[in-house]
Amino acid sequence: MADKMTFQRYEIKYMLSEKQMKKLQVLIDAYMGTDEYSFATIRNVYYDTESFRLIRRSIEKPAYKEKLRVRSYAPVHGSDSVFVELKKKYEDVVYKRRMSLPEADVKRCMRSGAPFPADSQIAEEIDYFRSFYGKLVPAVFLSYDRAAYFGKADHDFRLTVDHNILYRTENFDLGSAIYGTDLLGKGYYLMEVKTAGGLPMWLTDFLSEEKIYKTSFSKYGAAYLDMQRNGKEAKRYA
């Protein structure tokens, strides 16, 4: 049976300098606990059409957009589990459906177009997405080092900090080494706040004092724009 999870929440992003991150860490240590997947190097393979329809649509900032990716929190091979994630955003609300399956099954189904071997509503939604867009192929391998936290007073309040955000358009193996083009630059961090409601006062005060404002930075979007600027072509599975 696939491990099924659904999420519905706001996701707000902020860019921090190294100095600001050090100040924030003091507050995080006081108000938040460490998440299950904290201090992991996350690996993602984003799938798209041959013409990059999904990401081209996304960077136009429509009211509704969606993406499909396969994610692991460690190097994986064969029978190791990975997450297949369908992420949708309408207005400012993010809806995520994900399921866990063996890496070999996911790779086989994505290559062949066969339905996922999971009897669930989430599997049906993801299979419908794949059917709607037609052939989907690996577009970008994107990795980053993540620290993840949950609120001590409100466990539904989550906060993640990513750095060393790298992408490449070759070698989409989730068990491979980490390398690629840096999207942020040294000394910068991407913080994502994930909440069903508002921000806690301690975080609001910090953002105000440091004059930190929300950003619409998209990792896959930034990778695609860099590819366009540099004339790179994605290398696909055969």
With beta carbons less than 8 A apart as the criterion, state whether 166 and 182 touch: yes
Residues 6+ positions from 100 with CB-CB distance below 8 Å: 2, 3, 4, 81, 82, 83, 84
Structure confidence at residue 7 (pLDDT)? 76
Overall average pLDDT of the 23-34 stretch: 97
Overall average pLDDT of the 25-54 stretch: 94
Q: Tell me the pLDDT band of 164, cut-offs 50, 70 and 90.
A: very high
Name which of 102-106, 117-121, 168-172, 189-193 the model is least confident about: 117-121
CA distance 170 to 93: 32
- What ranges do the domains of the chain cover? 3-230
Structure confidence at residue 35 (pLDDT)? 86
Secondary-structure class of domain 3-230 per CATH: alpha beta
Q: Tell me the pLDDT band of 1, cut-offs 50, 70 and 90.
A: very low
Structure confidence at residue 237 (pLDDT)? 36
Structure confidence at residue 198 (pLDDT)? 86
With beta carbons less than 8 A apart as the criterion, state whether 237 and 111 touch: yes
With beta carbons less than 8 A apart as the criterion, state whether 32 and 191 touch: no
- The reported pTM is 0.91
Structure confidence at residue 233 (pLDDT)? 55
